[in-house]
């Protein structure tokens, strides 16, 4: 996770590669960003809720492509569960809090 924090500060060249709206009109998005730390590809998945001064963002998953085939793609597995699937087909499920949409157990891979 430290390389991602460094990437956020130093500018890992994050680019939004996927945005998924919440089902049933809830005011939140799942955002997948890609970037790099030197030559290592990185993916960062967040849940964003609200807009403006009341907006909140939570980390759902960090994937480092240097440690394997961990290109992240994300899909919903229900209104309060995210399924993140790597390029190699490995699935990671993360449940979201019913009230806040905060991830209960974020993942960090690679």
Compute, in degrees rounded to 10, the torsion defined by CA atoms 15, 41, 61, 5.
-80
Q: How many domains does the chain have?
A: 1
66 is written with which tokens? 């240097």
Strands (E), 1-110: 15-21, 28-37, 40-49, 56-64, 72-78, 81-86, 91-95, 107-109
- Cα gap 46→97, rounded to integer Å: 14
Structure tokens at 92: 């990671």
Which domain, by its residues, includes 31?
2-109
Global pTM exceeds 0.85: no
pLDDT at 7 over 50: no
The string of pLDDT tens digits covering residues 54-74 is 889 999 988 887 656 666 666
**Phi and psi of 44, rounded to 5°?**
-135, 125
């Amino acid at each position: 996770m430290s390389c991602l924090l460094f990437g956020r500060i130093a500018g890992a060249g994050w680019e939004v590669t996927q945005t998924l709206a919440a089902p049933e009109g809830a005011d939140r998005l799942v955002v997948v960003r890609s970037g790099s730390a030197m030559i290592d590809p990185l993916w960062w998945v967040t849940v964003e809720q609200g807009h403006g001064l009341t907006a909140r963002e939570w980390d759902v998953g960090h994937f480092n492509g240097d440690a394997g085939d961990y290109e992240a793609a994300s899909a919903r597995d229900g209104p309060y569960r995210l399924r993140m699937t790597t390029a190699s087909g490995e699935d990671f499920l993360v449940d979201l809090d019913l009230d806040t949409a905060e991830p209960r157990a974020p993942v960090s891979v690679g």
